[in-house]
Each structure stands twice: as structure tokens, then as C-alpha cells.
A and B are shown apart, each in its own frame.
Chain A
């Protein structure tokens, strides 16, 4: 049981990393989508391309990491979630394909019409993908995934108030994270106009995300009583921390202190994810399947944890190097 919890913590750390890094890449795609016509939006799009180009593939691997942890550590939960939520998950997969391919294609071609075509593919799928990931999270959190194979309603499981809230919140939070990150990137690039543009976008998306959270309280109260009582019970300290960090982050953006704003925004997202986990504990599938019931044999769990420990010794320094180099300005020719 302790091994299972350890693996779950590692997996949830992967979810958090995906939300913070992969989420910001999706959010960057959102801002790419609404950056305006080819001329007006080109400065923003260049900044976005430079910010996410070197890192998006590495950030994307967190999603695969989470899936693999889930099916190795909690095979029955993986089978239940994937088979029940096959419609939104297929849409997520298609979104992942179009987002990555569109981004890589846009970078490789020249000429406005082609760049617009591939750019629009990249940007629109950057909105669709987190929306459906959020709706999947909403479906799991609201207890709409029964244990077993494909026992949920194929549509109702992800078209419901909590899933819609989850999807909307995912898009808004991704957009907010990206805007906050991009303000700091724009400042480092020395472009005051872009700093202001993304500051305004951060404030707007932060306000939308905050509004969704406030409205979400009523939605969860009505639609997901178990989740609601978990969030206000065991999860309360983390939920409160998330709300405070969100406010601090918005305040820091307002006062143009972008690095603290980044940290506070990341804290808010992290706290809400761990608050959700605490609210659901000890259930993986609300009311249906506990951690203990779905955990793989300790031998299997230990094998995965061991290989992760070895892998982390390579991945962590390499990832730190990549993130450092990506922040460097090109020098040598």
C-alpha cells in the first residue's frame, strides 16, 4: 500500500508537471489563436514560437509518463477511465497530433498562406486538447467513471456540468499560465509592447479563471457533492492555498512583478491539483475503486519506481539544461 501511494505521488507529480509546462504550451497556442491577422500578430507569434519551440516535445512527454504510470501502477483504473471516456480521450489524442504536427509544420514552411494554415491547426488544437483533458478530469472527479470496462455513458460521462467546468477551467488556466510566462519572456527579450500585451492578457485570463472558479463552487455543490465535500473537507487547506496564490499572482502581474507572478501561478495550479487528489483520497475512481483495490502487485510497483529513480538521474539534469539553454539568446553563428 505504501508502494502504491509512492507511485501515485510520483504519477501526480507528473500530472502537475504536465499542467505547469505542457499546460503553458497549450496556453501559448491559445494566445497564438487570438493574436490577430498575420501582420498584427506576428510579434506575438514569434515570441510564442521561441518560447515553446525547444521545450514543447519534452513537456509533452509528461502526458505519456502519466499514462504509463497509471496503467502500470493502477491497471484497472486505467482500463476503466480509458474505455469509459474513449470519446473525449480520442479527441485529446487527435488534438495532440494536430497541435504537434501543426506547430512543426508551421516552423518548417515559409509563406504566409501555409503558415496560416498550419498555425491555425496548431492554435485551435491547443484549445481543444486541454478542454477535453479538463472534461476527462471533471468526469473522473465527479465519479462518472464506474469500475470495470466501458460502463459509463459514452456521452453523458463527459458532457455534464463538472466536465464542462473542468474543460473551461483547463483552457483558462493554461491561457493564464502562458500569459504570465510570456510576459517574463517578453521582458527578457526587451520588448515593452509585448510585455504590456501579455500583461493585459494575463489579467483578463486570470479574471476569467477566477470567475470560473467562483461559479464552479456552485456547479460542484450541485453536480458533484462527493467532490465538493472532499474539497471543503480534507482538501480545504490546499484549496485555500490555491485561491490565495491565484490572487497573489494576479496582484503581482498587476504590479508588473512577473517572476513572482510565475511562481504564485504555478503554486495555485499545483495546490488545486493536489487539493483534488486529497479530496478524492483514498478513491482513484470516486466511490468505485480505491487506491488499494486497483494497485498493482508491490513487486511491479517497486520495479517501476526503481526504473524511475534511475531514469530521473538522467532526465532531471538534462531537462534543467534544456530549460536553461532555451532561455539563452542565440549568440554563436
Chain B
């Protein structure tokens, strides 16, 4: 395995693992704080028990998320020193702000998790609020840094390729920032909401239908179901942004070779051999997606040399997975909404609950697919049109050994996290009787 592939695989593994945990770090605190707020407002012991049980799970998820995020800071330098050495001063500011936000989050997580018996109920509830705010803020900052890689700005390069006149504030307010950060934060709410709800949907299928399980499902599921249509709207915004600002990435969503008006979009199928096969071709749909205009001009891959194109098959298939799952989740939320309007209850069908269990896995899968679209779609650039990934990678030897070791570490970490969370979930109903 060449070192560049090893470095990219290691980064993909670490980031792809962390991003799911980070979503729980952003979305789950809101769910826990909402439950505690309901408990204090209504005096409902089921909400109180849920808040306690969820806080315990949050403690595990936050710890694992924090440490799996730390390695990324190391890897930025270990794997991509030529990128960080050159652009660290430009793009460091959002990272510094992310560090502060994460500091606030870690401090209040400590207060919240250990404060049940040390703070007044009101102070305890309030100590949860900065976790939510700081979690969202740290997601915003770190995705701002990633958005900069898509729209690098706030610097000039001299003849030797060195950065001059860095403007970190311009880098912070890069063009991709608004849409990318919004898309990510909503995704985090969906991953956490559908993920937590799935636990209680599984409980429903096993016959646990008491108030504790009912509320445990309703609160996170409602949050995620409300966010989903908004997220699809933001996804549309993201697509139009790409069409304007990163046309090559946009073309790779469909594998569009030639620049054309009224470009079609193929739903389903597989991309290979330079085209999509077995899909349902929707005429002009890509133009609609790009500019909300069926006759709009869409730039094809042909506009850049083959060496500057991303691997279309991966991007295109990941895009299909993300969009497909997104609409699936939308349909699930609509099913829920119809039943709720009729009788203030989730659908009684076991199929609904099976689908809700699946949604707990579908949401992170859609997240990963979306991440692949934005990261692989940027290739071969680490900073779009400014620096290639191959010019950023370290020149140190035997990088792949680190990758092999980390594969083992992440396998253990995954096993441990799943195992411990299952233990906590199994222990939760007893918690209710104690509380």
C-alpha cells in the first residue's frame, strides 16, 4: 500500500469514526437537557429517569468522542505536515475557537455528570445549557475549517508558494462555511435523535411499552423528524452551492462528463466505466438541482484535466446513498406525523418501529455518505485548487504500520463502546424503579 493511500485511509478511519461520536456530542446533550427540563416542569418521574439514564450514556459517548477527536489533532501534523506547515496560520483560527468551545463543553459535561448530587436542580439544568451551546459551536468551528479546505481564502501565495498576507478572519468567513456548518449541525441532531429513539423502538418491539419507553422514543424521534425536512432543504442549498462554487464536485455527483444544458440526473443504478448503469434517468433533473432551472447549464468533468477530477464512482454512489436515506427518513417522519395528528401516538405498526430501529443506523450511514461526498469530491485537492493531497502528505516512511495499529485500536474501541452502551441500555429500566 503506498504511503499516500495509507495516510488517507488512516485519516478517513479516524475522522469517519469520530464524526459519528461527535454527532452524539452535539445532538445528545440537547435531548438530555430537554428531558431534564420536562422532568422539572412536569414532575414526571419517567422524564427524570430518562434524563439520568441518558446522562450516563452521554458520559460514555462524550469521553469516547473527546479522545477520538484528539488523535485528529495529532494526525493533522503526523500525516499532513506540509499542509499544516504552510496553512496553519491561515486556518488555525477556527481550530483555536473550536478548542475553546470544546473546553467549555468538557467543563460543563463534568459539572453536569457529577452535579446531580452537588448542585441545586435548577443549577444542574442550567449547567446543561452550555454543553448544548458549546457543542454546536465546536461543530460550527471545526466544520468551518473543513469548509475552508473547499473554499480556501484569506491569503496570497508568493512565487515560492509561501503564504503571504494571511487573513484568518477571511478564512473563517469562507464561502462554504454557512451551508456546510448548517448541514453538519442538522445532521448531528438527526444522528443523535434517530439513534437514541432506535433504542426505544427496539424496546417497543420487545414489548416494553410503558411510559418510560414511550417518552424515551417520542422525545428524540420528534426532534430528528422535525429536523429532517429542514435538512433536505439545506441539502438542496448545498447542492446549488456546489454547482456554483465547486462545479467539478457537483459534476461528480452524477458523473456528468460533458458540459450541457438540461442535464439529467439518474436515480439509483451504479456508476462504472464512465457512466451510470441501471438507474432511472430523470431528464433535466441535474439542472433543476443545480440552479432550480430545467434548462440551466451544468459544467461537466471535461472542463478539467483527468488528473484534477475526483473518483466519480465513489462520490456519485455516496451521494445516492445519502439522498436516498435522507428521503427515507423524511418518509418515516411523515408516517409518524400522520399518526400523531390522528391520535397523539406513534404508529402502532411493528413495521414503523422496525423502520425506526433501522433509522438509528440509517442516519449515521447517511452522515458517512455525505462526508464521503464532500471529502472525496474535493479530491485530488486537500485545499481546493491550492494544494494537492499528494503534496501535503508526510514524507516519513512506513506510515502504513500506524494505520494497521489504529485499525486494531478502533476495532477494540468500537467493541467497547457498543458493549458498554448495550449494558447501560439493559440496566436502564431498573434505574426507573430506583429513581
- Using A57-B109, A86-B78, A318-B104 as known contacts, say yes or no to A68 and B96 having CB atoms under 8 A apart: yes
A53 at the interface (CB under 8 A from B): yes
Enumerate A149-181 residues with CB–CB distance to B below 8 Å. Answer: 149-150, 154
* Distance between Cα atoms of A144 and B178 in the complex (Å): 43
The answer to whether B110 and A71 touch across the interface, beta carbons within 8 angstroms, is no
The answer to whether A118 and B106 touch across the interface, beta carbons within 8 angstroms, is no
Enumerate B66-98 residues with CB–CB distance to A below 8 Å. Answer: 66-71, 73-78, 81-82, 84-90, 92-93, 95-98
B335 at the interface (CB under 8 A from A): no
B386 at the interface (CB under 8 A from A): no
Chain B residues with CB under 8 Å of A76's CB are 85
* Distance between Cα atoms of A76 and B87 in the complex (Å): 10
Q: Which of A190-198, A217-225, A300-308 binds B? A: A300-308
Taking the closest CB of chain B, its distance from the CB of A86, in whole angstroms, is 4
- Using A98-B409, A154-B396 as known contacts, say yes or no to A79 and B77 having CB atoms under 8 A apart: yes
- Using A101-B417, A304-B92 as known contacts, say yes or no to A60 and B81 having CB atoms under 8 A apart: no
Can you list 5 pairs linking A and B with CB atoms under 8 Å apart? A57-B110, A94-B406, A100-B66, A314-B104, A318-B107
B113 at the interface (CB under 8 A from A): yes
The answer to whether A75 and B110 touch across the interface, beta carbons within 8 angstroms, is no
* Distance between Cα atoms of A325 and B178 in the complex (Å): 38
A332 at the interface (CB under 8 A from B): yes
The answer to whether B88 and A90 touch across the interface, beta carbons within 8 angstroms, is no
Chain A residues with CB under 8 Å of B68's CB are 97
Which of B70, B97, B168 is in CB contact (< 8 Å) with A300?
B168
The answer to whether B74 and A296 touch across the interface, beta carbons within 8 angstroms, is no
B327 at the interface (CB under 8 A from A): no
* Distance between Cα atoms of A97 and B96 in the complex (Å): 21
- B→A interface (CB under 8 Å): 56, 59-60, 62-64, 66-71, 73-78, 81-82, 84-90, 92-93, 95-100, 102-104, 106-111, 113-115, 117-120, 130, 163-169, 394-399, 402, 405-406, 409, 413, 416-417, 420, 423-424, 427
A82 at the interface (CB under 8 A from B): yes
* Distance between Cα atoms of A100 and B92 in the complex (Å): 26
* Distance between Cα atoms of A34 and B64 in the complex (Å): 25
Chain B residues with CB under 8 Å of A296's CB are 88-89, 92, 166
Which of A54, A86, A300 is in CB contact (< 8 Å) with B114?
A54
Q: Which of A39-47, A102-110, A242-250, A261-269 binds B? A: A102-110
* Distance between Cα atoms of A150 and B81 in the complex (Å): 8
The answer to whether A300 and B90 touch across the interface, beta carbons within 8 angstroms, is yes
Closest A-chain residue to B134, C-beta based?
Answer: A314
Chain A residues with CB under 8 Å of B409's CB are 94, 97-98
The answer to whether B111 and A321 touch across the interface, beta carbons within 8 angstroms, is yes
The answer to whether A72 and B92 touch across the interface, beta carbons within 8 angstroms, is yes
Chain B residues with CB under 8 Å of A318's CB are 104, 107-108, 130
Chain A residues with CB under 8 Å of B96's CB are 68-69, 72, 304, 307-308
Which secondary structure dominates chain B's binding surface? helix
A63 at the interface (CB under 8 A from B): yes
- Using A93-B74, A304-B92 as known contacts, say yes or no to A315 and B168 having CB atoms under 8 A apart: no
* Distance between Cα atoms of A60 and B67 in the complex (Å): 9
Taking the closest CB of chain B, its distance from the CB of A206, in whole angstroms, is 29
- Using A82-B74, A86-B78, A325-B114 as known contacts, say yes or no to A64 and B89 having CB atoms under 8 A apart: no
The answer to whether B395 and A149 touch across the interface, beta carbons within 8 angstroms, is yes
Which of A103, A150, A310 is in CB contact (< 8 Å) with B395?
A150
The answer to whether B93 and A72 touch across the interface, beta carbons within 8 angstroms, is yes
Taking the closest CB of chain A, its distance from the CB of B293, in whole angstroms, is 40
* Distance between Cα atoms of A308 and B64 in the complex (Å): 26
Enumerate A58-91 residues with CB–CB distance to B below 8 Å. Answer: 58, 60-61, 63-65, 67-69, 71-73, 75-76, 78-84, 86, 89-90
A55 at the interface (CB under 8 A from B): yes
* Distance between Cα atoms of A256 and B217 in the complex (Å): 54
Taking the closest CB of chain A, its distance from the CB of B173, in whole angstroms, is 12
A212 at the interface (CB under 8 A from B): no
* Distance between Cα atoms of A262 and B63 in the complex (Å): 28
Taking the closest CB of chain B, its distance from the CB of A92, in whole angstroms, is 7
* Distance between Cα atoms of A308 and B101 in the complex (Å): 11
* Distance between Cα atoms of A327 and B399 in the complex (Å): 44
Closest A-chain residue to B141, C-beta based?
Answer: A307
- Using A83-B394, A325-B119, A331-B117 as known contacts, say yes or no to A314 and B100 having CB atoms under 8 A apart: yes
- Using A93-B70, A326-B114 as known contacts, say yes or no to A71 and B402 having CB atoms under 8 A apart: no
The answer to whether A300 and B93 touch across the interface, beta carbons within 8 angstroms, is yes
Interface centre among A69, A97, A118, A301 (most CB of B within 10 A): A97
Chain B residues with CB under 8 Å of A97's CB are 67-68, 70-71, 409, 413
Closest B-chain residue to A94, C-beta based?
Answer: B409
Chain A residues with CB under 8 Å of B85's CB are 75-76, 78-80, 149
Closest B-chain residue to A67, C-beta based?
Answer: B73
Chain B residues with CB under 8 Å of A82's CB are 74, 76-78, 81, 84
A96 at the interface (CB under 8 A from B): yes
The answer to whether B106 and A61 touch across the interface, beta carbons within 8 angstroms, is yes
Closest B-chain residue to A305, C-beta based?
Answer: B96
Chain B residues with CB under 8 Å of A72's CB are 88-89, 92-93, 95-96
The answer to whether A299 and B78 touch across the interface, beta carbons within 8 angstroms, is no
Chain B residues with CB under 8 Å of A71's CB are 76-77, 84, 88, 92, 95
The answer to whether A54 and B396 touch across the interface, beta carbons within 8 angstroms, is no
Taking the closest CB of chain A, its distance from the CB of B152, in whole angstroms, is 15
Interface centre among A65, A93, A299, A329 (most CB of B within 10 A): A93
The answer to whether B99 and A68 touch across the interface, beta carbons within 8 angstroms, is yes
A113 at the interface (CB under 8 A from B): no
Closest A-chain residue to B115, C-beta based?
Answer: A325
Which of A57, A105, A330 is in CB contact (< 8 Å) with B62?
A57
